[in-house]
Amino acid sequence: MVWLLRKCIKCGRYTLKRDSCPYCGGEVRVPHPARFSPDDKYASYKSALRSVMDEEDSNSGERRG
């Protein structure tokens, strides 16, 4: 299935254009999440990345406060 809807990462508006946002000229991306599969062979890598990102977020919050 082809996703037609795009979302600008700069201004947050939705568009059907694939190259850039017609409002601000920012980069557009597909706003839909990736499909879920119980047989995902990359699941362990994704969970490891999530845990690293969560750890970085919690550490950066401690440094600021």
Give the CATH number for residue 58.
2.20.28.40
Q: Closest Cα to residue 29, out of 7, 3, 5? A: 7
pLDDT tens across 14-37, in order? 999 989 999 999 999 998 887 778
In a domain, 28, yes or no: yes
pLDDT for 36:
78
What are all long-range contacts of 36-44, with beta carbons under 8 Å and residues at least 24 apart? none
Contact (CB, 8 A) for 43 and 35: no
Please report how many Cα atoms fall inside a 13 Å half-sphere around the Cα of residue 64, on the Cβ side.
6
At 13, the pLDDT band (50, 70, 90 cuts) reads very high
Containing structural domain, residue 14: 6-64
Q: Indicate yes or no: pTM above 0.85.
A: no
As for how many domains the chain has, the answer is: 1
